[in-house]
Structures are given as structure tokens and as C-alpha cells.
Structure 1
Amino acid sequence: MGSWKNHVRGQLQHRDQREKVPYAGVFTSLSQLEERFEIRKQILEDVQTKSLERGGVEAGKNTSLLQLQLRESEHLAEKLSQTVSDLTTVLYLKEAELQYWQSRVSRHHQEALTLAKGSKTLKATLSEYEFTIECQCKELAALHVEQKELKEAAAQAWKEKEELLQRWMEEKREEADRLNKYNDTQERWQRLAKQLKKHLHKEMAQGYDPIETSSLSGATKTSPVF
């Protein structure tokens, strides 16, 4: 907030250095010239009085010289008076400008106060947002940990599933092997039974022999298991 005040103060000082300081000695010079004018005027009156009393040529010369000096003084006085008038006008303008700048400074000061209040409100809001972000970051970290644990549990479950599937496939393969062996055994028994039936029908076609039939029946009952 102090930067703009320093800037305005520096601008006013620069303006004084540029516009007021060069004319600082004018009023002093004017006073001195007015004093000289009064002195010369008094001297001129005295000389004129003496010249009237004496009536000499020398007094006339002195009177002419003093009148010339008086005219010069009057010219300088008029010039200085005009300068003073101009400076007074400039001074009024500068005072009006100073009032304008002071009003602007007051307005900027009010704006600065408003901005300071807004900045304070924004800082409070920012603090709330930072607190919310911090809480959300903590929640996110907790969710990451939970996600990691879930991934590990899912990986373990998948591993157990694969192992279970592998065991189930092994059991099914063993069961299929047993079923294949059983089917092979059944097929061998069926082939053997067909052969026996065929042989029996052949024997019966050639003639019935109870002994052979009995021996054949015994051989069938005592057949080994393959």
C-alpha cells in the first residue's frame, strides 16, 4: 500500500523541482526592486524639490537620469508584477491539481482498503480450500492403500482359483482315466462274451455235449479279470 503513496509523493516533488524551485527567488527579487523603486522615487522627489529651489542645469541632468532610472524601475516592476501574476495563476492551477491528486489519492486509498478486505476474504477462502484439499489428499491416500489391499486380495483369490481349477482338472482327468479304463474293461468283457456266445452256438450246432458245456461254463465263471 505504501508504494503508490511514495509514487505520488515523488511525482509531486518532481513537479515542485521543475516548476516552483526555478521561481523561488522571484518574490525576493521583486521585494528588493520595490524597495529600490521606493528609494529612487524618494530620491527623485528630493532632487526635484532641490532643483526647483536652485534651478540649475546640473539638477536637470540629474533629474533626467533619475527619470530614466525610474522608468526602468517601473518597467521592471511591471514585468515582475506580470511574472507574479503568472506565478499566482500557476500556483492556483497547481493547487487545483494538488487537490485533484489528493482526491485521487483518497480514492485510491479507499480502493486499496476495499482490495485489502477482498484479499483478506480470498485468503480465508484459500485457507478453506487448502484444508479441503488436505483432507481429500488424506482420503485419497487411504483409498490407495485400500485399493492396494483389494488388488492383493484379488490376486490371491485368482491364484487360489487357478490352483482349485488345476486340482479340479486333475481330478477330472483322473476320473476320465478311470472311466476310460472301466470302459476298456467292459469292452473286453463284451468281446469275450461275444466270442464265448459264438463258440457256444457253434458247439451247439455241432452237437450238444454236457461235459464240454459244463467245462465251458466253469471256464467262463473262473475267467480272470483284466
Structure 2
Amino acid sequence: MELWKSHVRAELFHRDCKQKDPFSGLFDKVSRLEEMLAFHVKLWQNMDTCSSKENGSSRCPDEGGSLYLRMNELEFLNQQLKHKISDLTSNMYLKEAELQYCHSQVARYRTEAVVLAQGASCLKADVEEYEYQLECQSKELTALRLEHSSLREELTATNLHNEQLLDRWLEEKKEEAERINKYNATQERWQRLAGRLKKRYRLRSRPACVANSSSEIKPTESKTQRPPS
């Protein structure tokens, strides 16, 4: 609520209290006077009826009937007091019942408060345990992150080293393949050269073989021929 609204509300409440204070007890007094007036009117009517029935011979015991009026007022007040006492007694019983109910509610709320306090203490203990576990897990996570970063660096270095080794191995294999190719080419050249030499050697050695074979065949023929008869 704004400040000026609260100020206006307080001033109006103060004004109402000032205006109601002079008249606070007048309504109760007026109601009691009206009741007494009605009682007096009824009482005088009863007195008039009694005097008319007795032909005016017997009046009230005292002059003006003040004692009779006073006695009836006391009886009326006594009845009012009895009604008030009965009302107050019933109100007291009701208040005692309400008080017992309030006591039962207070006891129930107290037990509920105790149960809730126990639950709150358990929850507080659980929260502290969870906080401790969270702190431990955060520390473990920090350590794992550091380890992960170191392992990643090691993995990067290992991959770089493997790439270097692979490049070196490929270079070595390439050089070995070149050497093998050179060796194979040399072997092919030597084989071709050896084949040519063998071919030339065969071509050169073939006439000698033919000559030798012819010289060996002629004597055999002469030996096999028969003389003429």
C-alpha cells in the first residue's frame, strides 16, 4: 500500500474512534432503559387491573406502590441475571469445548510440528550428505578433467609420433621397394645377358657338335658295308 493511502486510512480510523467514543455506552443504556420502561408499563397495567378487580378497596401495601414496584423490579432484575447467568454458563461451556478443541488442535499441531522437525532434520542431514557427495564428485570431476586433458595431450603427441613413424616407415618401404626394383631390374638384365650368352654359346658349339657327329657316323657305315661277291 502506498504511503498516502495508509496515512488517510489511519486518519479515518482515528476520526471514527473519536466520534464513537462518546456514544459507546449510550446504546446499552438506552436498551436497558427501554426494557425497564416496558417492565414498568406492564407492571402498572397489572396494578390497574388488580385494583379494578378489587373495586379500588385494596391498593398496594404502601403509598404509591413503591415497595411493590421495587420488589417487582428486583424480581425482573433477578430473572435477567438468571438469564445472563444461564447464557454465560452456556457460553462458558461452549468456550470450554472450544478450548478443549483448541488444546487438541494444539496437541495435534505440536505432534505434527515434532514430526515435521524430525523430517526437516533428516532432510537437512540428507542435504548435507548430498552436498558432501556433490563436493567429492566435483573434485573427482576436476581431477578427471585434468587427467582427460593430459591424456588428450598424450594422445595428440602419440598420434603425431605415430604419423612421424608411419611417414618414416613409408619412406623406408619406398626406398626398399626402389632397391628391390633396382635389384630385380639388375637381375633381369643379368638373366637376359646370360640368356644371350647361352644362346651364343649354343650357336657356336652347334657346328662342332655336327662335325663330330658326322665323323663318328662314317666309320660305322664302312664297317657295316659288305664286300662285293
TM-score category of the 2 structures, normalised to the smaller one: 0.5 to 0.7
2:144 corresponds to which residue?
A: 136
Residue 154 of structure 1, aligned match among 156, 162, 172? 162
2:97 corresponds to which residue?
A: 89
Residue 123 (structure 1) shift: 1.6
Greater Rg by CA: 2
Mapped pair 1:103 → 2:111? yes
Q: Which residue identity is paired with 1:117?
A: A
Task: Report Cα offsets for 1:131-181 as digits up to 9, x if no partner.
Answer: 122112211211111111111111211111111111111111111111111
1:193 corresponds to which residue?
A: 201
What is the alpha-carbon distance in structure 1 between the residues aligned to residue 157 and residue 163 of structure 2? Answer: 10
SS at structure 1 position matched to 2:173: helix
What is the alpha-carbon distance in structure 2 between the residues aligned to residue 205 and residue 117 of structure 1? Answer: 120
Residue 101 (structure 1) shift: 1.2
SS at structure 2 position matched to 1:80: helix
Count how many residue pairs are aligned between Structure 1 and Structure 2: 162
Residue 191 (structure 1) shift: 1.1
Residue 98 (structure 1) shift: 1.3
Residue 97 (structure 1) shift: 1.4
Residue 66 (structure 1) shift: 6.0
The answer for unaligned runs of 5 or more in structure 2 is: 1-27, 37-58, 216-229
TM, length-normalised to structure 1: 0.59
TM, length-normalised to structure 2: 0.58
Query: Over aligned residue pairs, what C-alpha RMSD do you find?
Result: 3.4
Q: Which residue identity is paired with 2:110?
A: Q
SS at structure 1 position matched to 2:185: helix
